[in-house]
A and B are shown apart, each in its own frame.
Chain A
Amino acid sequence: MEYALKLENVSKSYKDFTLDNINISLPYGSIMGFVGENGSGKTTTIKLILDLIKRDSGIITILGQDNVDNKNIKQLKEHIGVVMDESCFPEMLTLMEVNKVLKNIYKTWDERKFGTLAKQFSLHKNKKIKDYSKGMKMKLSIAIALAHDAKILILDEATSGLDPLVRDEILDVFRDFIQNDRHSIFMTSHIISDLEKICDYITLIHNGKIILNKSTDELIDNYGILKCSEADFKTITPTAVKGFRKNAFGVEALVIKKEIKGDFVVDKASIENIMVYSIKEARCNESTNH
């Protein structure tokens, strides 16, 4: 199968942190949410994908092409749309001037599309970027990412700092983007509810390793939150439990629904639950291994 984005056995070592053997596969036409705590290696992974830092080992391909600066990389970048977590545009420029600059950078720059998106996002034409609110700066980045012939969007916290209404609007824009089944999106976000709404796949990274990599459906269909007494909890098969938390009045655990026999309270697990419990479990395993 071809993948819009593929990381194979990618590693990167720093003095006090290692990104260890990362494998990520994003099929064409899908949206993958990349989540993890702060310091888990999310940003390092994104930087490796964008060739801002060099990998120690492994292969990274975007739209089937190696991501490293070589002869064809400029052509590839015409088709990559990036939104970083801060607005990265020179602050003294206005929208019109941004358009002028980008027109000369991207061969596939579509001025009209940019104008339409700017209007849709209510971006002021003559204000300097430094006077834009955070939300407007984000929307500008997204408009730029969509205004050239991008086939894959790489978004790093693209919806953070935006109010729920605007986020909703932007998720719709992403859904529109994905109507073309050769378009794909790779996004990181702390706003798990956004990821739950839109992502086809969720990849969870913790301490430099991928600890979860499944389709959203699989996660929601297979996982559940079990609530029971401590005594009852002891009777549950350990392999069915993927993380738990004891409180003063009982136990709450992330479980595989199918493997729970008996008449227990098992609620639906949100992606956030799954993420938090999985990380807690991973941390537990780390401390027991030391």
Chain B
Amino acid sequence: MNIIISNSSGQPIYEQIIAQIKALIISGQLEEGYQLPSMRLLAKELRISVITTKRAFEELEREGFIVAITGKGSFVAGKNVEFIKEQQLKEIEEHMQEIIQKANTCGLQLDELIEMLSIIYKGE
């Protein structure tokens, strides 16, 4: 996998990384399930900041091109980006069911729950 970044082009480095990895995935050079190098390794090899690589990876994940699995690393997502989104929505629904159940057992009301959620969301 080749990543070439330019310091003299006006484009921020993290954008260059995103663009190149996207291109590699879309063209099929990186197949579904391919394990990407870790953010730190990429930072080290390219001699850039970890913050940059982290930002690039986070953006790629947001757009559904890669999936980060804690403890294992980041993997190229299937071309069917819609499918991934669906999976993640399903997971969120399941987590929500759990939360509602727990809220019920300690008598937490819906508006309190929503407030908690807002606070935590804003804190991110």
Q: Do chains A and B touch in the complex (CB under 8 A)?
A: yes
- Interface contact B51-A215, CB-CB below 8 Å: yes
- Interface contact B51-A217, CB-CB below 8 Å: yes
- Interface contact B44-A176, CB-CB below 8 Å: yes
Task: Report if B8 contacts A (CB, 8 A).
Answer: yes
Q: B-side binding surface: helix, strand, loop or mixed?
A: helix
- Interface contact B50-A178, CB-CB below 8 Å: yes
User: In the assembly, what is the distance between CA of A181 and CA of B43, in Å?
Assistant: 12
Q: Mark B1-34, 1 if CB is under 8 A from A, else 0.
A: 0000001100011100000000000000000000
- Interface contact A200-B44, CB-CB below 8 Å: no
Shortest 7 CB-CB contacts between residues of A and residues of B = A175-B44, A200-B49, A221-B12, A200-B51, A179-B40, A215-B51, A216-B49
Q: A-side binding surface: helix, strand, loop or mixed?
A: mixed
Task: Report if B47 contacts A (CB, 8 A).
Answer: yes
- A221-B12, A268-B8 known; A215-B40 Cβ under 8 A: no
Pull 26 A–B residue pairs with CB atoms less than 8 Å apart, ordered by A. Answer: A29-B50, A30-B50, A30-B51, A172-B44, A175-B43, A175-B47, A176-B44, A178-B44, A179-B40, A179-B41, A179-B44, A197-B47, A200-B50, A215-B49, A215-B51, A216-B49, A216-B51, A217-B12, A217-B13, A217-B49, A217-B51, A217-B52, A217-B55, A220-B12, A221-B12, A268-B8
Residues of A within 8 A of B43 (CB): 175
- Interface contact A199-B8, CB-CB below 8 Å: no
User: In the assembly, what is the distance between CA of A227 and CA of B50, in Å?
Assistant: 31
User: In the assembly, what is the distance between CA of A220 and CA of B40, in Å?
Assistant: 20
Residues of A within 8 A of B41 (CB): 179
For window 171-229 of A, CB contacts with B under 8 Å fall at 172, 175-176, 178-179, 181, 197-201, 215-217, 220-221
Beyond contacts A29-B40, A176-B44: 20 other A-B pairs, Cβ-Cβ < 8 A, are A30-B51, A172-B44, A175-B44, A178-B40, A178-B44, A178-B50, A179-B44, A181-B40, A198-B47, A199-B49, A200-B49, A201-B51, A215-B49, A216-B49, A216-B51, A217-B14, A217-B49, A220-B12, A221-B12, A268-B7
Residues of B within 8 A of A201 (CB): 51
Residues of A within 8 A of B40 (CB): 29, 178-179, 181
Query: For chain A, which range describes its interface: under 10, 10 to 19, 20 to 34, or 35 or more residues?
Result: 20 to 34
Q: Mark B32-67, 1 if CB is under 8 A from A, else 0.
A: 000000001101100101111001000000000000
Residue of B nearest to A168 (CB): B47
User: In the assembly, what is the distance between CA of A178 and CA of B8, in Å?
Assistant: 26
- Whole-angstrom distance between the Cβ of B8 and the nearest chain A Cβ: 7
Residues of B within 8 A of A197 (CB): 47
- Whole-angstrom distance between the Cβ of B71 and the nearest chain A Cβ: 12
Residues of A within 8 A of B51 (CB): 30, 200-201, 215-217
